[in-house]
């Protein structure tokens, strides 16, 4: 083959490879769509495509999640402060092995489908908040009277996400973010969990392990009324949290301030599996009540 022909072939192959490389980058990283027109300054943040089949942990609106920077010095300092605080303040006994620890339900919550659009992440009325109740009834299909748009529409109401659980130590973490900004504004239920548990840390749960909620006293045998669950995956923080009113605050004129607050809470909760909470499937249905005990089986 003449040299000039060979050079042409090499140039053509190089161009093809370059286009393919750019296409791969473009398919993974792109600007996020606005939650609703004109009210989402964080749409400029880089987001990676969600692949449910490849990474079932991702849960964000439509098919993308925010990118996070694990080298952020603010987050590193935040983590150090968080773990120091939990060592001092948490009620978890360090003498017990993780499997022997017991938790206690301090809050249960559900949020029904909002006809006016408040259950759809693209709506101005959307929020992750869920109001508390004295108990929640759980079945194989999920929490009765609760609606999750992504689970319902994109995941065909999968039973693997029937229940969401958060531990109280995470609330303590959030209140330390942004020099006390969240301590004054954040309240229980803002993350949208169905069950809030105290007495165990966020890393108490293990994927594939079974746990029991019971109203029976300590040491009692299992009851037909007990609820049994199996942990399926850790939840992952995404831009849906940025719709909380104190982040998407109309009084904040600078978009970059909203972006900074949005990224900070997402990065903080995505540092380790379980900080955002856990998903579980229902093994034995029933009612979970405030005051119920939680233990590994």
pLDDT at 208: 98
**Distance in angstroms (rounded) separating the CA atoms of residues 64 and 277:** 19
pLDDT at 278: 98
**244 within 8 A of 130, measured Cβ to Cβ:** no
288 CA to centre of own chain: 21
**Distance in angstroms (rounded) separating the CA atoms of residues 24 and 32:** 17
Per residue in 85-115, pLDDT (tens digit) is 443 344 444 556 666 789 999 999 987 766 7
pLDDT at 100: 75
Classify the phi-psi angles of 31: left when phi > 0, otherwise alpha if psi is within -120 to 50, otherwise beta. Answer: beta
DSSP string, 233-268: EE----GGGGGSTTTS-TT---HHHHHHHHHHHHHH
pLDDT at 149: 54
pLDDT at 220: 84
**Rg (alpha carbons) of the chain, rounded to whole number:** 22
pLDDT at 2: 54
Per residue in 244-253, pLDDT (tens digit) is 888 888 888 8
Main-chain dihedrals φ then ψ at residue 280, nearest 5 degrees: -145, 150
Contacts of 209 (CB under 8 A, 6+ apart): 230, 231, 296, 297
List, for the chain, all residue ranges whose pLDDT scores fall below the cut of 70: 1-99, 113-114, 117-128, 147, 149-157
């Amino acid at each position: 083959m003449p040299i000039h022909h060979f050079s042409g072939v090499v140039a053509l192959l190089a161009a093809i490879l370059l286009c393919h490389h750019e296409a791969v980058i473009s398919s993974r990283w792109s600007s996020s769509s606005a939650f609703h027109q004109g009210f989402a300054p964080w749409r400029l943040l880089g987001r990676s495509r969600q692949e449910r089949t490849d990474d079932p942990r991702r849960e964000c609106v439509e098919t993308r999640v925010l990118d996070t920077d694990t080298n952020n010095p603010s987050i590193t300092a935040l983590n150090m402060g968080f773990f120091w605080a939990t060592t001092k303040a948490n009620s978890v006994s360090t003498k017990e092995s993780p499997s022997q620890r017991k938790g206690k339900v301090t809050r249960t919550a559900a949020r029904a489908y909002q006809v006016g659009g408040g259950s759809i992440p693209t709506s101005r009325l959307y929020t992750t908040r869920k109001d508390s109740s004295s108990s929640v009834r759980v079945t194989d299909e999920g929490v009765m009277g609760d609606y999750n748009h992504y689970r319902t529409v994109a995941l065909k109401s999968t039973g693997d996400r029937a229940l969401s659980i958060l531990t109280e130590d995470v609330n303590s973490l959030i209140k330390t973010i942004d020099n006390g900004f969240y301590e004054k504004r954040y309240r229980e239920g803002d993350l949208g969990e169905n069950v809030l548990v105290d007495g165990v840390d966020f890393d108490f749960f293990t994927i594939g392990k079974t746990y029991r909620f019971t109203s029976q006293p300590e040491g009692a045998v299992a009851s037909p009324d007990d609820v049994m669950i199996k942990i399926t995956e850790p939840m992952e923080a995404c831009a849906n949290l940025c719709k909380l009113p104190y982040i998407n605050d109309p009084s904040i004129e600078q978009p970059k301030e909203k972006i900074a607050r949005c990224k900070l809470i997402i990065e903080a909760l995505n540092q380790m599996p379980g900080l955002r909470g856990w998903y579980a499937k229902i093994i034995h249905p029933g009612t979970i009540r405030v005051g119920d005990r939680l233990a590994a089986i």
